[in-house]
Amino acid sequence: MGGFIVRRLTFAVLIVLGISLVTFVVAHAVPADPVRALAGSHATPSEVAAARRAYGLDKPLPLQYLSFLWSLAHGDLGVSLLSKRPVLDDLTQYLPATIELGVSALILTIIIGVPLGVLSALGTGRAGRVASYVARVPTLLGVAMPPFWLGLLAQAIVAGHFAALPLSGRLDVWNIPPPTVTGLYVVDSLLDGNPSLALAALLHLILPAVTLSFGTIALLTRMIRASMLDVLSQDYIRTARSKGLRGRVVLFRHAFRNTLVTSVTVVGLLTGYLLSGDFLVETVFSWPGIGNYGVNAAVNSDFPAIIGVTMLVAAVYVIVNLLVDLAYPLLDPRVAV
């Protein structure tokens, strides 16, 4: 067990290092004049020269990379050109919003996707090919749906036409955010004893979370369905049925448990995706998370911020994948550690 963990950890660290290299190359070697990029497009010649020295850009590229890694190890991600604050501070401020949205979407995805996936696998056997097509269509549509379009439609119809839910943001303009404990507005409001604020935060969460989870629900449903179909055709299921076990027991004790490996893998991948701040959904709903921050940075060529967001997202992905990998032996005893 120990060896497995060590190997996976080493691998994770190497991946993060590799991504730092790629990010560094993109930010420093790709733009025509990286100094200008880092100093900002409105810098005067003397400011540019000062920036060149300050950022060490007059040194050879490999040395620059090493000093970049050094800063990274010390948690110094540079200063954002837009906000003029350390990038780390910006990220710390915007991350909770993304997490709140991501967790909400993840809960929705699991609650809806898992039963849907299981049920759609069951219907197939009896009703034949037609049912198979009928089950496939919504999931394919869900995968094909542009999330930014769905978000806009949701805004136009639900928030605009029916005025049933808020248009954007985490709270209404006149609300004061709750005192920060976790950074998650719903939780913090409840902790502060302010249920009406919690409700407001929840209402603001609904549209973005539903939009975000649309595609992931479709994906999870498809994957679980495929896995279930595969499992249900196995011999041990037939054995269980011929033993006279009731359908529900067969389903949960035998069929579903064997889909867990696939399911957890997919959920893990989706978690990484959901927690990394979906740029498009956050932009449409003006959700102040790291996705929105990243887009702003990209559009305004705020390279320190871009690097910061990229590294943060990489870290989230790597950690989540690591956790999923470590969960494998628990789910499938056959997996050799």
Partner 1 sequence: MTISIDELSLRERADDAGMRQRAGGAALAGRLLRNPLTAAGLAVIVVLVACSIAAPLLTSYDPQVVDVSSRFLAPSSQHLFGTDELGRDLFSRILYGGRLSLPAPFEVVAIALLFGSTVGAAAGYVGGAVDETLMRLTDLFLAFPGIVLALAIAAALGPGLPTVVAAVAVVSWPWYARLMRSQVVSVRTREYVEAGRALGGGNLHLLLRHVLPNSLTPVLTQATMDIGYTLLTIAGLSFLGLGAQPPTPEWGAILSVGRSYVTDQWWYSTFPGLAIFLAVTGFVFLGDGIRETLDPRGQR
* Site residues, partner 1 (CB under 8 A): 15, 18-19, 22-23, 26-27, 30-31, 37, 133, 136-137, 140-141, 143-149, 152-153, 155-156, 159-160, 167, 226, 272-273, 276, 279-280, 283-284, 294-295, 297-299, 301, 303, 306-307, 309-310, 313-314, 317-318, 321
Q: How far is the CB of 201 from partner 1 (least distance, A)?
A: 22
Tokens at residue 88, please?
Answer: 């780390």
CB of 141 to partner 1, least distance (A): 6
CB of 33 to partner 1, least distance (A): 11
Of 197 and 307, CB closest to partner 1: 307
Of 12 and 48, the one with the shorter C-beta distance to partner 1 is 12
Q: Which is nearer to partner 1, 94 or 303 (CB)?
A: 303
User: Are the C-beta atoms of residues 1 and 325 closer than 8 Å to each other?
Assistant: no
321 in Cβ contact with 272 (< 8 Å):
yes
Distance between CA atoms of 34 and 85, rounded to whole angstroms?
A: 20
**Helical spans, DSSP H, in the chain:** 2-24, 34-39, 45-54, 61-73, 87-127, 129-144, 147-154, 185-191, 195-232, 235-242, 247-249, 257-275, 279-284, 290-299, 303-331
Which residue lies nearer to partner 1 by CB, 100 or 278? 278
Q: State the Cα–Cα distance between residues 44 and 36, nearest whole angstrom.
A: 10
The dihedral formed by the CA atoms of 187, 190, 195 and 200, expressed in degrees to the nearest 10 = -20
Taking a C-beta distance cutoff of 8 angstroms, is the pair 263, 271 a contact? no
Minimum gap (Å) between residue 257 Cβ and partner 1: 19
Q: How far is the CB of 281 from partner 1 (least distance, A)?
A: 10
Instruction: Provide the minimum distance between the beta carbon of 256 and partner 1 in the complex, in angstroms, as a whole number.
Output: 18
Question: Judged by CB, which is closer to partner 1: 188, or 282?
Answer: 282
Report d(CA 186, CA 199) in Å as an integer.
Answer: 7
Closest approach, Cβ 224 to partner 1, in A, equals 13
- Smallest gap from Cβ 58 to partner 1, in A, equals 20
**Other Cβ atoms within 10 Å of 227 Cβ, number:** 23
- The CA-to-CA distance between both ends of the chain, in Å, stands at 5
Q: How far is CA 63 from the centre of its chain?
A: 33
Whichever of 93 and 132 has its CB closer to partner 1, that residue is 132
- DSSP track, 160-171: IIS--S--SSSS
Cβ–Cβ < 8 Å for 35, 51: yes
Instruction: Please count the other Cβ atoms lying within 10 Å of the Cβ belonging to residue 283.
Output: 19
